[in-house]
Amino acid sequence: MSNKPGNFNPEIHVTDYRKEFEAKRVTRDCLISIDGRKTESLNGKWHFYADPIEYLLRGGWYKESRYDDQGREKPCDYDFEAMEEIKVPATWNTERPELFLYENMGVYFRTFRYKQHEEGERVFLHFEGVAYRAYVFLNGECIAMHDGASTPFSVEVTGKLKDVNRILVGVDAKRQDDRVPMTNTDWFNYGGIYRDVYFVRTPGTFLKDWFLRLVPGSGYSEIALDFSVDGSKSGEALLTIEELGIKEKVRYEDGIGSAVIKAKPELWSPESPKLYDVSLSIDGDELSDKIGFREFKVDGNRILLNGNEVFMKGICVHEDDVYLGKSTNECIIRETIRTVKEELHGVFLRLAHYPHTRLFSKIADEMGVMLWEEIPVYWSIAFGNEKTYKDAENQIGELIKRDKNRASVVIWSVGNENPDTDDRFAFMSNLASYVRSVDPTRAVSAACLVDEVGEKIDDRLADKLDIIGVNEYYGWYNPDFSKLGRVLKNSNPSKPVIITEVGAGARAGNHGPSDMLWTEEFQEALYMKQVKEIGACPFIKGVSPWILYDFRAQRRFNHYQEGFNRKGLIDADKKTKKLAFKVLSDFYKTK
Ligand code: GCU
């Protein structure tokens, strides 16, 4: 019996319609550097409709074939030009009230004109962030499929363009247990093309990627360059750092070049965030950036920045805004960093729980804070699923490709609060090895949980980490605060520990006795007890309390929360400070 009976109608009977697009999957290997490149924006108004049964794919609407093979017009159920407009970049949840809780597919459409500028030029579409899966169609053809809500992807479209081009993007925001993150998260699942979209032209042979950094252990006197060239396979590049008197020619063969160059740069630090104007050029192409040079390393159980021991005075922050959802902007980022540096007296931000916009680390380089960046291997990921591992590895690979020239980024994190199972141990050990293979210049960490039975810090993943992150909520989720003292006394980690989460909920403006949950006084009193214990523990070398701002979460519904996680030191308005803010600020002033 054929599995396609005579009455099989693909439009209504097909079920495995997504399969064909797997062949168009784009990964970190397709990502091109846009550092210093002229880009042409595709931001602005796109047409949009919600497509919960994914007829863009299931019904082949992306082909826009309005006539049968006899040339007779067919009744089509779509008319992309007639769909209502939506802003790009933005999350549809904050743009359309009726889509606030919509977690399925949204379809974006626009046209754009193309005119060749240079003979032999190559053209790429570049998306900075599309949550979660993107199916990209150009003039009726699928050109890309990408997984990962928070990392960029590029796709080459050379030779596929006309004078006027039609682009459709199906954005699937579904939570799925085999995705990264999976269905259960304590943050809001926004959907959409929520970061910039660019059109990028390059010469036929162009600089695809580069990595420039201080050579660890070189006594701050050598910088290393690795770069890749797409197109002609051998030639000569020129690295220019005027302020250091560097004009270094570097050969490349088989598309790869590297060099180690003597240099004594002024070192980057939060106190003195020195950046150099750098350019790398080959015949006809150039990348440029502002790059800082510093050495961040672990020595025994100390954390050193440029050879000086540092206490990582930090705070966590989500990419979440009442009005912008998961989109953000320069003003919000600058105010966040200013608040942390100047008012909280911090030097460190944990960008939870996924890669934030590339703009954050660019501004952090300039303003001077250190960053922990992570991928959302969060809670119970499908650790035994090879596809899930590939997704996680690709997301951290795209993150590292994007931010590896950022001095502010000092820690890559491979996960958060994961159960200590064998599958998880293998999954995250492999991730840690992968991270070190592509970037040996930063620390690898993860936010682990306390062994509550043994009452100690004892996650076997610590063997694979440079810094042990530990989340603990004694005095909140575990009302027995005294347990913290026992856990610290029972623990003897051989590596530095950062308390990567600690805190309590409080509604701004809700006051009462310090033993009453959800009051500012309760949160304040807990912070006083916590900073006392943390400050007195010799192996704790940093803390990033949970969290700077209240943020949307789809499991926080009591009358204090009203759809927000209220552990912020500042209300979701990003202005109203709670009493506990000063406790942490005073503590950091002493460190
Ligand atoms: C966990 C988790 C956070 C969560 C926080 C909380 O530690 O890592 O994502 O928001 O606890 O419960 O508020």
Residue 61: pLDDT above 90?
yes
- In the predicted model, what is the mean pLDDT of residues 359-384? 98
- In the predicted model, what is the mean pLDDT of residues 89-99? 98
pLDDT at 11: 82
User: Coil, helix or strand for 493?
Assistant: coil
Residue 2 pLDDT grade (very low, low, confident, very high; cuts 50, 70, 90) = low
Question: Which amino acid residue places its CA nearest to atom 4 of ligand 1?
Answer: 186
Distance 246 CA to ligand 1 centre (A): 47
- In the predicted model, what is the mean pLDDT of residues 414-434? 98
pLDDT digits (tens, 9 = 90+) for 260-295: 999 999 999 999 999 999 999 999 999 999 999 999
- In the predicted model, what is the mean pLDDT of residues 367-384? 98
pLDDT at 5: 83
Residue 234: pLDDT above 60?
yes
- In the predicted model, what is the mean pLDDT of residues 386-410? 98
pLDDT at 31: 98
- Rounded to whole angstroms, the Cα distance separating 411 from 305 reads 12
- In the predicted model, what is the mean pLDDT of residues 298-316? 98
Mutate to test the pocket of ligand 1, among 182, 185, 186 (most ligand atoms within 8 A of CB): 186
- In the predicted model, what is the mean pLDDT of residues 8-28? 93
pLDDT at 3: 73
Residue 586: pLDDT above 60?
yes
Distance 392 CA to ligand 1 centre (A): 20
Distance 379 CA to ligand 1 centre (A): 10
pLDDT at 232: 84
Ligand 1 first shell, C-beta below 6 A: 186, 353, 416-417, 471, 501, 546, 565, 567
Is 574 within 8 Å of 551 (Cβ atoms)?
A: no
Joined together, the tokens standing for residue 428 give 């995250």
Residue 12: pLDDT above 90?
no
- In the predicted model, what is the mean pLDDT of residues 303-331? 98
- Rounded to whole angstroms, the Cα distance separating 152 from 157 reads 16
pLDDT digits (tens, 9 = 90+) for 141-152: 999 999 999 999
Q: Could you give the percent of the chain with pLDDT greater than 70?
A: 100
- Tokens 């202005």 appear where? 575
- Measured from the Cα of 353, ligand 1's closest atom is 9
- Measured from the Cα of 553, ligand 1's closest atom is 10
Distance 566 CA to ligand 1 centre (A): 11
Mutate to test the pocket of ligand 1, among 449, 546, 547, 560 (most ligand atoms within 8 A of CB): 546
- In the predicted model, what is the mean pLDDT of residues 440-458? 97
**Rounded mean pLDDT of the chain?**
97
Distance 397 CA to ligand 1 centre (A): 25
Q: What are phi and psi of 589, to 5 degrees?
A: -65, -25
Residue 419 pLDDT grade (very low, low, confident, very high; cuts 50, 70, 90) = very high
Contacts of residue 478, defined as CB under 8 A and 6 or more positions apart, other chains included, come to 452
The number of beta carbons lying within 10 Å of the beta carbon of residue 162 is 10
Is 21 within 8 Å of 142 (Cβ atoms)?
A: yes
Residue 26: pLDDT above 60?
yes
Residue 1: pLDDT above 70?
no
- Cis-peptide, bond into residue 67, ω within 30° of zero: no
Residue 441 pLDDT grade (very low, low, confident, very high; cuts 50, 70, 90) = very high
pLDDT at 98: 98
pLDDT at 10: 83
- Tokens 């952090």 appear where? 364
